[in-house]
Amino acid sequence: MFQKILRVLFLYFSVSGLAVFALPPQEEPGLLRVVLIVLDGVRTEEFFGGTDPDLAREHGVLPRTRESIFPFLWQEMAPRSSVLSGNIHARERACYVSNKQRISLPSYADLLAGFRQSNVVSNRFRGKVKNATIIDRLLEESLLPHEVAVFASWKHIEHITSKSHNNFHLETGPLAGGSSVPWANARADRDLFLTVINYVRTHSPLRFLFIALNDADEWAHLNRYDRYLEAMSEQDEYIRQIVYTLEGHPAYQGNTLYLITTDHGRGRGKAWMHHGQYEGSQYIWALVDAPLTRSLDPALRAYWLEEMASHCSHARMGQMVYSLLEQPAPAALWRREGARVMRQPAHDLFFTDAMP
Ligand SMILES: [Zn+2]
């Protein structure tokens, strides 16, 4: 609590222009930040193996490699990644959904709780989660409300982010005047992406940024393999631009761990459009990108990378995010970082408005 008070006081004095601090050399560590991105319903099959030959033939699409579907994730992120978990197709260890339902809302709930969020067992869940989430615990212990933001294309993610806090930035579901999509209760991923980019460029740096993209899952449910593949490539491009935008800002650059995953797998073969009790839905994947994250304690880093490689699940991912961010930042580090943030607003670095 004392740390939090110090930080609030510091923010006040910084904004009022009373505090003057020297900028640290570039290589010094800053505050650790975590960006967690979920691509709803992206199967291990396509993520690790590219197009399914039978589905490609049946739906009249050209076969594509994983590098062609996800050029940023496979050509830029994966080669430098610390962990790439869940490739059951290469007989590697599986990464698992943490609930029996193997559908979206329970899985998002487990991910953001760090364990089974027991009262969320359906996509129709509304109301309050039973147990505090990692966002609740981080806001109690180490983070300030303006350091946390949640963006989700699918509206109902709003119900599982927190038990008791409503003062962090939470933006989910349809956007008034936004692009139309052939499904309900969601914003087009492209609109969500633009919202995120605009937010991070105009707000002080976040410690925890959660982004949930939705289009691929919806096209899959509509049995549109062609659009499922396109949506995944668009999501890959959104991630690229988000990472480049953040890494162009000194507060994020070299201080940010990226965790990319999915909420559930899907059925196999002709059952590919379904999730839930269809075999295959329990398998997910996770990519942890932290090679340049100098602000990450080496022992903590080694522990969690090993855990993600050997015991990968939504619950474990949530625990990792909490563990990485639970320590209150040392006051001196926060002062330095605060000074740096004041000197360098998040505008225009590496940002491009050109979209495919
Ligand atoms: Zn889903």
Q: Evaluate whether 307 touches 316 at the Cβ level (below 8 Å).
A: yes
Is position 20 within any domain? no
Q: How close is the Cα of 213 to the center of ligand 1, in Å?
A: 10
Q: What is the pLDDT of residue 322?
A: 95
Is position 13 within any domain? no
Q: Evaluate whether 136 touches 165 at the Cβ level (below 8 Å).
A: yes
Q: How close is the Cα of 334 to the center of ligand 1, in Å?
A: 37
- pLDDT over threshold 50, residue 18: no
Cα separation of 204 and 289, whole Å? 23
Which range is least confidently modeled, 97-111, 205-219, 259-273, 293-307? 293-307
Q: How close is the Cα of 40 to the center of ligand 1, in Å?
A: 5
For 290-323, the pLDDT digits (tens) are 876 778 888 888 899 999 999 999 999 999 999 9
Is position 270 within any domain? yes
Beta strand pairing status for 33-39 and 83-85? Answer: unpaired
Q: How close is the Cα of 93 to the center of ligand 1, in Å?
A: 22
Cα atoms in the Cβ-side hemisphere of radius 13 Å centred on 180: 1
- pLDDT over threshold 60, residue 114: yes
What's the pLDDT band for 28 if we cut at 50, 70, 90? low
Is position 172 within any domain? yes
DSSP 154: B
Is position 65 within any domain? yes
Cα separation of 105 and 123, whole Å? 5
Q: How close is the Cα of 281 to the center of ligand 1, in Å?
A: 10
Taking phi first (over 0 means left), then psi (-120 to 50 degrees means alpha), and beta for anything else, what does residue 289 get? beta
Q: How close is the Cα of 150 to the center of ligand 1, in Å?
A: 17
Is position 346 within any domain? no
Q: How close is the Cα of 77 to the center of ligand 1, in Å?
A: 23
Which has the closest alpha carbon to 111: 28, 17, 210? 210
Q: Evaluate whether 78 touches 287 at the Cβ level (below 8 Å).
A: yes
Q: What is the pLDDT of residue 230?
A: 98
For 115-154, the pLDDT digits (tens) are 999 999 999 999 999 999 999 999 999 999 999 999 999 9
353 or 330, greater pLDDT:
330
Q: What is the pLDDT of residue 7?
A: 52
**Vertex 192, ends 191 and 194: CA angle to 5°?**
65
Which range is least confidently modeled, 19-28, 30-39, 230-239, 298-307? 19-28
Q: What letter represents residue 262's amino acid?
A: T
Q: How close is the Cα of 289 to the center of ligand 1, in Å?
A: 23
Q: What is the pLDDT of residue 285?
A: 98
What is the enclosing helix (H) or strand (E) of 260? Answer: strand 256-261
Q: Evaluate whether 63 touches 247 at the Cβ level (below 8 Å).
A: no
Is position 23 within any domain? no
* Residue 19 in tokens: 């505090």
Range of the domain at 148: 40-226+248-282+294-339
User: Longest Cα pair distance anywhere in the chain, in angstroms?
Assistant: 66
For 176-227, the pLDDT digits (tens) are 999 999 999 999 999 999 999 999 999 999 999 999 999 999 999 999 999 9
Q: Give ion ligand 1 contacts, CB < 5 A.
A: 40-41, 104, 217, 263
Helix pair angle (298-310, 314-325), 10° resolution: 170
Q: Work out the percent of the chain whose per-residue pLDDT is above 90.
A: 76
For 45-83, the pLDDT digits (tens) are 999 999 999 999 999 999 999 999 999 999 999 998 888
Q: What is the pLDDT of residue 327?
A: 80
Q: If you average pLDDT over every residue of the chain, what do you get?
A: 87
Cα separation of 42 and 284, whole Å? 8
Q: What is the pLDDT of residue 299?
A: 86
CA distances, 107 to each of 48, 53, 174, 256, 315 (Å): 21, 29, 21, 24, 9
Q: Work out the percent of the chain whose per-residue pLDDT is above 70.
A: 84
Count how many domains the chain has.
1
Q: How close is the Cα of 337 to the center of ligand 1, in Å?
A: 37
Q: How close is the Cα of 264 to the center of ligand 1, in Å?
A: 6
Q: How close is the Cα of 38 to the center of ligand 1, in Å?
A: 9
Three-state DSSP state, 141? helix
Please state the rounded mean pLDDT for residues 277-284: 95
User: In the chain, where does DSSP find H-type helix?
Assistant: 2-15, 44-49, 53-59, 66-69, 71, 78-80, 104-113, 134-141, 189-202, 215-221, 225-247, 298-310, 314-325, 331-343
Q: How close is the Cα of 217 to the center of ligand 1, in Å?
A: 6
Q: Evaluate whether 6 touches 79 at the Cβ level (below 8 Å).
A: no
Please state the rounded mean pLDDT for residues 218-245: 98
Q: How close is the Cα of 103 to the center of ligand 1, in Å?
A: 6
* Residue 12 in tokens: 């006040």
- pLDDT over threshold 80, residue 29: no
Cα separation of 236 and 69, whole Å? 8
Q: How close is the Cα of 183 to the center of ligand 1, in Å?
A: 13
Is position 7 within any domain? no
Three-state DSSP state, 177? coil
